[in-house]
Structure formats: structure tokens, C-alpha cells
Structure 1
Amino acid sequence: MELLDSRMDFQCCKIALICGDKVLTILRDDKDDIPCPNMWELPGGGREEDETPFGCVAREVYEELNIQLSKDDVIWSWIYPSMLDENKKSVFLVGKLTQEQFESIIFGDEGQSYKLVSIEEFLTSDRVVPQLQERVRDYVEKDK
């Protein structure tokens, strides 16, 4: 996937890590000065310097969960408008997560907690960041 190594201009990269029929979610901090406080979201975050999309998401996933991602884990990618500035790009990835990786998570200092939830629950909950629901839905429906 050439998108993973692209030097295009993008603002952030998020990843839906799928383990069986579940997706890994992180509960955002409950702070008034951040977007979507106390909502469930996906790992990932803002680009630093001239990172590639994979470099950005691999760094963020390591910082947030202490998981070492490999490019082979990534199974789908797409470009969307950024959630913070629709004139900028955001990269969305879907990757595989093993049960062993989930059990070895060391949670970082961003967010309140993490859990695996069914994809169905992620798509229907009113406590999930809506744009991320849309992106996961695009992935789920891509084969239909």
C-alpha cells in the first residue's frame, strides 16, 4: 500500500485495530479543552514533521498502547477530510490485532481506558466519535 509511505500533506492518522469481530477503542480524557471529551475513539493522532501515514500511526499506537505495528498488519486505507479542518487530509487505516497483542497492552498517559467492543456496538453507540463510526462503516461495507 503506497499510501502508508506517502509524503503527501495530511494532518492526522487513525487506525481501527480489529481483533476477531471486535475493534480496539480508547476512552478520551474528560477535559473541556479537547474535541469530543469522554467519548470512545480509535488509536492514532496528529502528524509530526514529515512523517508518513504509517510512521505517524505506528508512533501514536506505540505511545498510546505500547504495541509495535508492522505494515503487514494494515489491511485497508483511505483518505478523508480532517476532522479538525475539512480543507486538510486525514488518513484512516484498518489493521489486524492479535489477542496476544491486546493482552500485552501497556496503556499510555492519554485517555482514560481502552477495551475491545463489537464492531456493531462501535457503529451504533452514541458515545463514539461520529466521524470514526462513519469511517469504520465505510470499511465494513466496502465488500457489500
Structure 2
Amino acid sequence: MNATLPQPSPSLNQCSRDLAQHGYCLFRDALADDQLNALRTRLTEQALAEKQKGLSFQDGGPTQNWGDFRDSRGALRAQEFTEAQGGRNQRVWMLVNKGAVFRDLLGHRAVRELVTGVLGDHYLLSSHTANIANPGGVVMRLHTDQWWMP
């Protein structure tokens, strides 16, 4: 296979073609600088607040096994996914509940057009999260995030 892989493009049409052909696209300049700054600021605030309240989820440590969230009885093992247990990356879950800037992303014209082009007019959003990747995190194997589906 000698296909040319997608390159960053400011063209929604090119991104749609890349998404259809390759399963992904690189949308250059999709967000303006002020939007990016607002997202970074709000994400940083939220991540810090979750850390300060002991609610942060931190993974990517060398002794943590991604997906090993429950013990043998089925109880959540949240205490294993902390910075104290070696977690390097911080996940910020359920962004839709954590600020208008995150909800606004979901209504972004380009996002809507690209998703609708693949899934049609009716679809269900099951995850809207951020992963703050820090130095020292281990490589995560290729996986699906649809673990909750049959």
C-alpha cells in the first residue's frame, strides 16, 4: 500500500475526504488562538481543582495496568490511579459538565460536519474527556474506548 497519509489541512472538504479514506484527518487551525487559550485555562483550572480535592484520576505509571479498574470483587480501585501510586497522566472525565468552553466544542461547525459525515444525523456522544500527558508515562496499547458496549 502506497497511499499518502493525511496532512494537516485547513480545508473541511479535504478533511472530510481524509476521514472517509483513512479514518482520521488533521484539521489545521480548527480553533482560533482565543478558543485554545480559553480551553487550556479552563482545563488547567479543572485539573488542579480535582487534584486538590483528591478526585483526580492519574494513570500511565509503570506499575499501573490500564483497564484494571476493578478488583476481584468488582469494586472500583480508584486509589490505584493516583499520583502517589505512580500515575503520570491526568484524565479529566465528563467535560460536558465542566464548562461551557467544552460544550461549545461539541457544536463546532467543523466537528458537527465531520461527525455527521461519518455517523449520519443521529448519534450518541459517549465520552468527552481530556488526557493531560506528562513526562514519564508509559505507552498505551491500541484499544477501543467503547468498553461499555456489548
The interval holding the TM-score normalised by the smaller chain is under 0.3
| Bigger helix share | 2
Q: TM-score under structure 2 normalisation?
A: 0.27
- Bigger strand share: 1
Larger Rg belongs to: 2
